[in-house]
């Protein structure tokens, strides 16, 4: 039953799988603190500007909210990059962000990944 409950929790988005065996409880507060710390490092290392960090956080929060409100998106076909692009397109279509913000988010996300600050 533990496995069944874990799989249900994954589908509901209440836990996220860890990069190693097992998983960790998903805590949005912990994730927000970790993201803020990583963004502060990115600003200090001049990977991004403070304005870019603020934009990234705004869009990231909207993406996470969309994921939690549409758990079926995680079960859709495609890889993580394609699912994120679909979420960004939906946020643009629903006028939560504009296309320039979506493109900037993707660019910032890529730079953070290259720098090793975010996966």
pLDDT 10s digits, 68-114: 888 887 776 678 888 899 999 999 999 999 999 999 999 999 999 99
**pLDDT top residue among 69 and 9:** 69
Residues of 27-51 as b/e, b for ≥16 C-beta within 10 angstroms?
eeeeeeeebeebbebbbeeebbeee
| DSSP for residue 17 | E
pLDDT of the residue at 21 = 44
Average pLDDT value over all residues in the chain: 84
Binned at pLDDT 50, 70 and 90, residue 20 comes out as: very low
């Amino acid at each position: 039953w533990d496995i069944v409950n874990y799989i249900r929790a994954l589908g509901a988005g209440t836990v996220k799988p860890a990069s190693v065996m097992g998983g960790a409880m998903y805590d949005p507060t912990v994730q927000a603190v970790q993201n803020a710390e990583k963004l502060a490092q990115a600003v200090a290392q001049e990977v991004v500007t403070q304005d870019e960090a603020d934009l990234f956080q705004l869009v990231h929060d909207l993406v996470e909210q969309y994921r939690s409100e549409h758990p079926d998106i995680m079960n859709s076909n495609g890889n993580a990059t394609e699912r994120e692009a679909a979420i960004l397109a939906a946020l643009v279509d629903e006028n939560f962000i504009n296309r320039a913000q979506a493109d900037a988010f993707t660019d910032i996300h890529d730079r953070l990944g290259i720098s090793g600050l975010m996966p």
